[in-house]
Structure 1
Amino acid sequence: MQRPNLLFVLADQWRSSAFGFRGQDPVRTPHLDALAADAMVLTNAVSNYPVCSPYRAMLMSGRYPFGNGVPLNVNSLTAPLGVGLREDLTCWSDVLHADGYYLGYVGKWHLDPPTDEDAIHGEGVREGCVWDAYTPPERRHGFDFWYSHGCCDDHLHPHYWADAAPREAPTQVDAWSPEHETDVALGFLRDAARRYREDGAPFALTMSYNPPHQPFDTVPSRYLDEYRDLSAEELLVRPNVPAGSDEAATIAAQYFAAMTGVDEQIGRLLDALAAEGLADDTIVVFTSDHGMQLGSHGLMFKNVWYDESLLVPFILRWPGRVPARTDDLLLSAPDIAPTLLGLLGAAVPDEMQGRNLADVVRGGPGDRPDRALYLRPAGGFEDTTEDTRGLRTHDRTFVVQRTGDGAEHLRLYDLTKDPYQQENVADQRPGEVTTLRAALQEELAHCNDPWA
């Protein structure tokens, strides 16, 4: 029997509530809705560190930030600190490459530190630092086909480094990036399908779309037209959004429009798999690196402990092998690499700190995690002297914030009574705080976090 293929789709900043089938955010996603109907849908997939680079490093390496080299977002301010995905790590892609898989990567990477030469690309310079970066072949962790950029692309005028192109010769494109990237990916899939049929060589393609991440106003009007006339009340339906969130409403229309556009491109990928006769032989995953507040709790973006940022979509389809269902499995970002390897029948490196949940995903018995970490170390672009750690369980959110003066601030939300995390009950429940603090220490010790 041939080994299964993998299509792994990552959309940047897509929160878990934003699907038509969820019935929460007012967004139209027909292709992902259809995928979800035939797939395992997780309601408790956690972005343990809800910001781009740290999540992506956990995803690739199966290790937590202080073991993978990315404890902060990667940019020119953190590059002198050595922040960047460690070249010596064995990522899931390295394992599959060694096992004979044909690997492709298309889209945003954001795991390599910028150099002085990277500053020449204007779209990669924002708010006083450089975000974009070229990734040398030796740092691509086994990917054979490469069509990627670092970060901060212009969605309507993107650029990419293609395969052997040098740093000084990126490909400039005048097209909406998800549509163009899908065109490129369809070429990869046709070639990979031919290899699979003729030689039995399986493939793994990672599609990393930057939208619906900002800049929000760079979305084609054909998608925005569906949302531009909706009122703030129609767009911002979560009860933890304060009145008068006009900026959030404007962004919401653009954010949901980009999602509808990305959904259309995912539909093209799924159609291509079906046309090549590979739908049953390919594991398809759709997820995101983090969510977005979009006005909830008066906040706009991410990198906080609230579910709008912390919870991400996770949809996995493998016909006949993974039962279609909705599951409350608590999945952490470092669990994805060992779980994918387990599903694909590959060896899981001992250095990976995440859990191999492949048996559980298949619908069988196995240990189901009862907690997931929340991490926000001090420092980095966002700035902060505040060092924060926490836990997300099925029914609680617990957070410890340490400020620069050594003071601690505790937060505890009872999700059974307060699903929108509006009442901090830490002072009222000292017993729960003690228990959760001990559990937090255990988890931090497991992943060698110096906070512990």
Structure 2
Amino acid sequence: MSSSRRPNLLFILADQWRSSAFGCLGQDPVSTPSLDHLAADSVMLTNAVSNYPVCSPYRAMLMSGQYPFRNGVPLNINSLTAPLGVGLRPDANCWSDMLHAEGYYLGYVGKWHLDPPTAEDAIHGEGVREGCVWDAYTPSGRRHGFDFWYSHGCCDDHLRPHYWVGDAPREAPTTIDAWSPEHETDVALDFLRSAGRRSRDQDVPFALTMSYNPPHQPFDTVPSRYLDKYRHLAPEELLVRPNVQDESGAAATIAAQYFAAMTGVDEQIGRLLSALDDEGLADETIVVFTSDHGMQLGSHGLMYKNVWYDESLLVPFLLRWPGRIPARSDDLLLSAPDVAPTLLGLLGAAVPDEMQGRNLADALRGKAVDRPDRAVYLRPAGGFEDTSEDTRGLRTHDRTLVVQRAADGTERVQLFDLVQDPYQREDVAAQRPDEVASLTAALREELARCNDPWV
């Protein structure tokens, strides 16, 4: 690749994939040969943080480079929060808007979950579960620069997915009888081939976002050819983290399905990486693999996410750029809003002043720069979970501070020492008041920078 040619971007997002779930790490008992191969050639960030570990708020931070109280998504998006005005601001200058303005050809395949359901979405009945509507049509004016569109809002039928394709109207989605990651990869491969030709022949770089919904629930919608690798394993072989509390055994059943979906998605990622090789695009394409949040899977007696424990808070983050980014493991503390300005920095594009995240491109290049030493955790009161406590936290390399504020203003503070207690099983706040005071001051400083009304 010549020094003057702009790199392409393949950004792969897998929903609810926790940071420990790589075969090469030897932590979760999961088989991920494609991602293991990618990791060997990438910078692997071991402290990538989902500051608000639930789908819509993370995705809005990822796209906009802004924290939730500026980008318009302080709660997960569904028909219960839509009347509150929750949704990614159409006028937000996302990283995709900036690349589109600089001549990139952009594609989006898979889950979006950044627009509020309307009455029309409710009528069409897609993505209805748990008493509300989750799925939503995204009009062309809210697609933030993406030219190629093959997406749904939030619908979890992995074996019979639907998509709005191009200019198709709300009432005309395309429904497919196939496992969604496999079908979406077929679509993405066609995009890569055509965009690759455009890149070579017309010198037009591309950026493709591949947004898989699995391994997100429903967990039982995974092809048996992947589940066969795990169904014979005993609970103690599946749930290996020492902080697991699993009285009923439900977590073990889900774990087999969860890891099976990961192995299936990993196979699809292998197809994408092979296509880059076959098309001669690998050396001129930045590849990113990450997730919107993790999953507890029985740790601390919890199943899902949206808590401050590392099983939910930490996400995988691999970035490969052959010859430009040295492969290594790096403890860079990356927050979700940092991703957008960092991508723009790597791609040589302008970073809007309104982005609150940090451009950490030089840190990824291995240069000596100021590196973040803290990241916030956010869980506002209200939303789908009807949370009464307004919770904030601070994650550093070696501590986790959590402050839960009740409706009457009283606060409960917890502190975990990640060096002595990496599985966050002992609250030491009462024994370390000076640390609590120092970290609470740092938390308030960070929240003020994020325009968070909590302060």
Question: Normalised by the size of structure 2, how large is the TM-score?
Answer: 0.99
User: Is structure 2 residue 164 aligned with structure 1 residue 165?
Assistant: no
* Runs of at least 4 residues off by over 3 Å: 120-123
Structure 2 equivalent of residue 139 of structure 1? 142
Question: What is residue 208 of structure 2 aligned with on the other side?
Answer: 205
Partner Cα separation in structure 1 for residue 92 and residue 72 of structure 2: 9
Partner of residue 245 from structure 2, selected from 232, 242, 254? 242
SS in structure 2 at match of 1:18? coil
Residue 284, structure 1, aligned to residue 291, structure 2: no
Q: In structure 1, what is the Cα distance between the partners aligned to 2:425 and 2:253?
A: 24
CA-CA distance at 1:152 after TM superposition: 2.4
State the alpha-carbon separation in 1 of the partners of residues 251 and 386 from structure 2: 23
Query: What CA distance in whole angstroms lies between the structure 2 residues aligned with 1:271 and 1:122?
Result: 38
Structure 2 Cα separation of the partners of residues 254 and 389 of structure 1: 32
Alignment of 1:314-393 (within 5 A): 314-393=317-396
Counterpart of 2:191 in structure 1 is 188
DSSP-derived class of the 1:292 partner: coil
State the alpha-carbon separation in 2 of the partners of residues 138 and 259 from structure 1.
Answer: 33
Whole-angstrom distance in 2 between the partners of 1:419 and 1:201: 46
CA distance in 2, matches of 1:355, 1:338: 6
Q: 1:121 & 1:46 partners in 2: Cα distance?
A: 36
Distance 2:367 2:296 in 1: 35
| Mapped pair 1:68 → 2:71 | yes
* Structure 1 residues 98 and 369: CA distance shift in structure 2, 3 A: same
Closer, same or farther: CA 41–12 of 1 in aligned 2, 3 Å: same
Paired residue secondary structure (2:372): coil
Q: Is the 8 A contact 2:403 2:414 kept in 1?
A: yes
Instruction: Please give the alpha-carbon distance, in whole angstroms, between the structure 1 residues aligned to 2:233 and 2:97.
Output: 46
Query: 1:423 is matched with which residue?
Result: 426
Q: Secondary structure at the match of 1:296?
A: coil
Question: How much has 1:117 moved relative to structure 2?
Answer: 1.2
Any idea what SS the aligned residue of 1:254 has? helix
SS in structure 2 opposite 1:111? coil
CA deviation after TM superposition for structure 1 residue 120, in Å: 3.7
Give the equivalent residue in structure 1 for 2:84: 81
2:149 is aligned with 1:130:
no
- CA deviations 1:104-128 (Å, max 9, x no partner) are 0000000000011112444401111
- Whether 2:441 is the aligned partner of 1:438: answer yes
Distance in 2 (CA, whole Å) between partners of 1:341 and 1:53 is: 21
Q: Distance in 2 between matches of 1:330 and 1:303?
A: 19
1:264 CA displacement: 0.2
SS in 1 for 2:438: helix
Letter in 2 for 1:178: P
2:234 pairs with 1:231:
yes
Matched, 1:394 2:388: no
Partner amino acid, structure 2, of 1:167: R
Q: Separation in 1 of the partners of 2:124 and 2:237? A: 38
Distance in 1, matches of 2:216 and 2:124, equals: 19
Measured after TM superposition, the shift of residue 243 of structure 1 is: 4.7
SS at match of 2:113: coil
Query: Which ranges in structure 2 are unaligned for 5 or more consecutive residues?
Result: none
TM-score by length of 1: 0.99
Q: How many residues align?
A: 452
SS in structure 1 at match of 2:415: strand
* Identity in percent: 82
Give the secondary-structure state (helix, strand or coil) at the position aligned to 2:435: helix
Partner Cα separation in structure 1 for residue 248 and residue 344 of structure 2: 43
Is this contact kept in 1: 2:33–2:266, CA < 8 A?
yes
Name the CA distance, whole Å, in 1 between partners of 2:127 and 2:415: 38
Closer, same or farther: CA 115–269 of 1 in aligned 2, 3 Å: same
**Where does the alignment leave 5 or more consecutive residues of structure 1 unmatched?**
none
Give 1:365 shift: 1.4
In structure 1, the residue matched to 2:103 is: 100
CA distance in 1: counterparts of 2:272 and 2:24, whole angstroms: 20
Separation of aligned partners in 2, 1:113 and 1:123: 13
| CA distance in 2: counterparts of 1:274 and 1:197, whole angstroms | 14
Q: Deviations over 1:37-65 (max 9, x none)?
A: 00000000000000000000000000000
Confirm or deny: 8 A CA contact 1:400 1:411 kept in the other structure.
yes
Kept in 2: contact 1:339–1:355 (CA 8 A) = yes
Q: What secondary structure does 2:25 align onto? A: coil
- Give me the whole-angstrom Cα distance separating, in 1, the residues matched to 2:55 and 2:328: 28
Q: Which residue of 2 aligns with 1:407?
A: 410
Identify which range, 42-51 or 111-120, moves more after superposition: 111-120
* Distance in 2 of aligned mates of 1:273 and 1:141: 25
In structure 1, how many angstroms separate the alpha carbons of the residues matched to 2:426 and 2:345?
40
The one-letter code sitting in structure 2 at the alignment partner of 1:450 is P
- Letter in structure 2 aligned against 1:246: G
For residues 400-424 of structure 1, what are the alpha-carbon distances to aligned partners after superposition, in whole Å with 9 as ceiling and x for unaligned? 0001122111110000000000000
Aligned-partner Cα distance in 1 for 2:244–2:422: 13
Deviation string 1:341-378 (CA, Å, 9 cap, x unpaired) is: 00000010000000000001001111100000000000
Aligned CA-pair RMSD: 0.7
For residue 403 of structure 2, what is the amino acid of its counterpart? Answer: V
Contact 2:246 2:301 in 1 (8 A): no
Is this contact kept in 1: 2:156–2:217, CA < 8 A?
A: no
Equivalent pair of 1:14/1:290 in contact (CA under 8 Å): yes
Name the aligned partner's letter for residue 240 of structure 2.
V
2:221 is the alignment partner of 1:218: yes
Q: Distance in 1 between matches of 2:163 and 2:68?
A: 27
- 1:302-313 to 2 correspondences below 5 Å: 302-313=305-316
2:154 match = 151
Say if 2:124 is the partner of 1:118. no
